[in-house]
Structure 1
Amino acid sequence: MNTNTHPISEFLEKYFLHFNAASLVDAAKAYEKQIEDGSKMLVSLAGAMSTAEIGKIFAEMIRQEKVHIISCTGANLEEDIMNLVAHSHYKRVPNYRDLTPQDEWDLLLKGLNRVTDTCIPEEEAFRRLQKHIFKIWKDAEENNERFFPHEFMYKLLLSGVLEEHYEIDIKNSWMYAAAEKNLPMVVPGWEDSTMGNIFASYVLKGELKASTMKSGIEYMTFLADWYTNNSDNGIGFFQIGGGIAGDFPICVVPMLYQDLERENTPFWSYFCQISDSTTSYGSYSGAVPNEKITWGKLDIDTPKFIIESDATIVAPLIFAYLLKM
């Protein structure tokens, strides 16, 4: 009889013993200790993790309160919902490395926007959401209300207007899990996402006001208050990929104690980055964690981990360890 109740977690501890594999386990154990000690954890999502269907496991991390605030790109914010309502229309292209420019053009003509080996169906994904989110934007404007990008998405999900379009189990949507908990979030650079572009197009046409959408500066001031009010037992930083999803929130600490001169501001109490970027000239994503000490983001003794690997492989394994799978 098999008595192995946590096969993935036990597999990792038994076989992931050196190099990036060992870093994965060390980072997972330190993340677990942060939660056990009453610390909170920020998770940043860059890249195309939602299109990679990270929601299948990340949603459970949210439900089990192992994530307390999220920083994500506008793409990850919307692509989880797109997968929710248009999953059957996605097209996988396993031979994507062999595509010619003509092949790529043919995908465009079919309304298939490629992300590595996966094509997002424009009509079924973007347009299926557009009319509903426009109404929510317009209603807010007419009521002289303003919200953040993620708050509008929460309203969209919780309104129930998308239910008839669900094509995956709702429990596999991390955005729906976050909406149910009204999880704090920052979405820096939202304007470069598809929904950000659509919103901008309505502003250009005079159908919406830009001020209806709260700005990146307002996200930073929100984050400053949230960090101040939640850092008594420390706040960890778990970064998936690089880019603005990580760079934006980590800067709140030096801003608080250098620019606002709040000298009692604690450093981030944990740091882990999963990235396939290697250290090179001027690379933020490939910078080793110690570089962040010089910027006033991490302390000398902050537990620091960097796992140089593919986040679509590493992140689910770490989450599985934390969920005792």
Structure 2
Amino acid sequence: MNTNQKPISEFLEKHFLHFNAASLLDAAKGYEDQLNKGAKMLVSMAGAMSTAEIGKIFAEVIRRDMVHIISCTGANLEEDIMNLVAHSHYKRIPNYRDLTPTDEWELLLKGLNRVTDTCIPEEEAFRKLQKHIYKIWKDAEENEERLFPHDFMYRLLLSGVLEQYYEIDVKNSWMYAAAQKNLPMVVPGWEDSTMGNIFASYVIKGELKASTMKSGIEYMTYLANWYQTNSDDGIGFFQIGGGIAGDFPICVVPMLYQDLEQTETPFWSYFCQISDSTTSYGSYSGAVPNEKITWGKLDIDTPKFIIESDATIVAPLIFAYLLNM
């Protein structure tokens, strides 16, 4: 149990005793145990967590060295920065369930791209960043540099060129916190993000070379090297949502063990998934953790947790527990 607890941690200890609530608390304690024994932690982030402003708490988790590598979608990578520079232009639509196709079309015409109840303003968010990130891409290409997508974003944030646009406190940007620490990151499938689409458009127009951007295979080899270097005391896997952000990095262990025949490779030392995808037939995101044993990802004794709930509720509570809030 934490010492010198604060209200949120005390509330969880008192009331989160059964079912998904108990799983949440058990997973938080398991995460804390991993850190206490010196293990590293990978956090994978899918969905629209950046648009849900997870940075308000996740940035502090990063600053306190409670996460050591991140795997996230290209959307989460860019949407944290978009929120940083265009927050006042976001539009919330509480009655989103009542929208008709005509209502949705009108949002499109207004340049508002909807994510459930929140609309991202295209002009103020995407286009505001585009001219600056293009210059960074182009400068790198002219200098014969090749970087990962997150490296370019780090360079963009640390250059200071976006400071003129800040609309929230920068301490609430998890990407800025990660950039300051040069936190290791993998961004599988980056090409399907808005910035990935924009980069592809420049390649099609002949203004940039595809080779300027490092690829997914290079991300996997980067992750393999990182895993081998950092696994002496264990590496845990904390998965927010499903999809490629989790599927991609968890496979590094069976790749090392089976494909490279490095049989001394340790399994992930902790596993937790927050998901609203309940156990079902053939659904990877709905697979219970034990299924991962058969794929060479988790060991028999790996602490395993699954919390079937809304990640925008669960993840902040677990992070609050870790931060002793």
TM-score normalised per structure 1: 0.99
Q: Where does residue 53 of structure 1 map in the other structure?
A: 53
Partners of 1:167 and 1:305 in 2: how far apart?
37
Q: Where does residue 273 of structure 1 map in the other structure?
A: 273
Instruction: Tell whether 2:153 aligns with 1:150.
Output: no
Kindly state the Cα deviation for residue 22 of structure 1 after the two structures are TM-superposed.
0.2
Q: What is the SS of the residue equivalent to 1:161?
A: coil
Q: Where does residue 19 of structure 2 map in the other structure?
A: 19
Instruction: Tell whether 2:234 aligns with 1:227.
Output: no
Which AA in structure 2 matches 1:52? A
Partners of 1:167 and 1:238 in 2: how far apart?
30
Q: Where does residue 96 of structure 1 map in the other structure?
A: 96
Partners of 1:322 and 1:171 in 2: how far apart?
18
Kindly state the Cα deviation for residue 282 of structure 1 after the two structures are TM-superposed.
1.1
| Cα displacement string for residues 111-137 of structure 1 (whole angstroms, at most 9, x for unaligned residues) | 000000000000000000000000000
Q: Where does residue 317 of structure 2 map in the other structure?
A: 317
Instruction: Tell whether 2:216 aligns with 1:216.
Output: yes
Q: What is the SS of the residue equivalent to 2:71?
A: strand
Instruction: Tell whether 2:40 aligns with 1:40.
Output: yes
Kindly state the Cα deviation for residue 41 of structure 1 after the two structures are TM-superposed.
0.1
Partners of 1:178 and 1:125 in 2: how far apart?
20
| Cα displacement string for residues 291-319 of structure 1 (whole angstroms, at most 9, x for unaligned residues) | 00000000000000000000000000000
Q: What is the SS of the residue equivalent to 2:124?
A: helix
Which AA in structure 1 matches 2:55? G
Partners of 2:242 and 2:28 in 1: how far apart?
19
Partners of 1:269 and 1:5 in 2: how far apart?
26
Kindly state the Cα deviation for residue 5 of structure 1 after the two structures are TM-superposed.
5.0
Partners of 1:213 and 1:13 in 2: how far apart?
46
| Cα displacement string for residues 196-254 of structure 1 (whole angstroms, at most 9, x for unaligned residues) | 00000000000000000000000000000000000000000000000000000000000
Structure 1: segments with no counterpart, 5+ residues: none
User: How is 1:65-80 mapped onto 2 (pairs within 5 angstroms)?
Assistant: 65-80=65-80
Q: Where does residue 201 of structure 2 map in the other structure?
A: 201
Q: What is the SS of the residue equivalent to 1:290?
A: helix
Higher mean displacement: 42-51 or 278-287 = 278-287
Q: What is the SS of the residue equivalent to 2:35?
A: helix
Partners of 2:108 and 2:284 in 1: how far apart?
32
Kindly state the Cα deviation for residue 283 of structure 1 after the two structures are TM-superposed.
0.5
Q: Where does residue 133 of structure 2 map in the other structure?
A: 133
| Cα displacement string for residues 141-160 of structure 1 (whole angstroms, at most 9, x for unaligned residues) | 00000000000000000000
Partners of 1:319 and 1:120 in 2: how far apart?
25
RMSD: 0.6
Instruction: Tell whether 2:308 aligns with 1:301.
Output: no
Q: What is the SS of the residue equivalent to 2:296?
A: coil
Partners of 1:141 and 1:82 in 2: how far apart?
24
Partners of 1:78 and 1:281 in 2: how far apart?
33
Partners of 2:112 and 2:263 in 1: how far apart?
51
Partners of 1:64 and 1:305 in 2: how far apart?
23
Which AA in structure 2 matches 1:236? G
Partners of 2:186 and 2:109 in 1: how far apart?
34
Q: Where does residue 261 of structure 2 map in the other structure?
A: 261
Q: Where does residue 191 of structure 1 map in the other structure?
A: 191
Which AA in structure 2 matches 1:278? T
Q: What is the SS of the residue equivalent to 1:307?
A: strand
Which AA in structure 1 matches 2:225? D
Partners of 2:166 and 2:313 in 1: how far apart?
26
Partners of 1:172 and 1:163 in 2: how far apart?
14
Which AA in structure 1 matches 2:54? I
Instruction: Tell whether 2:112 aligns with 1:112.
Output: yes
Count of paired positions: 322
Could you list the runs of 4 or more consecutive aligned residues of structure 1 that deviate by over 6 angstroms after TM superposition? Answer: none
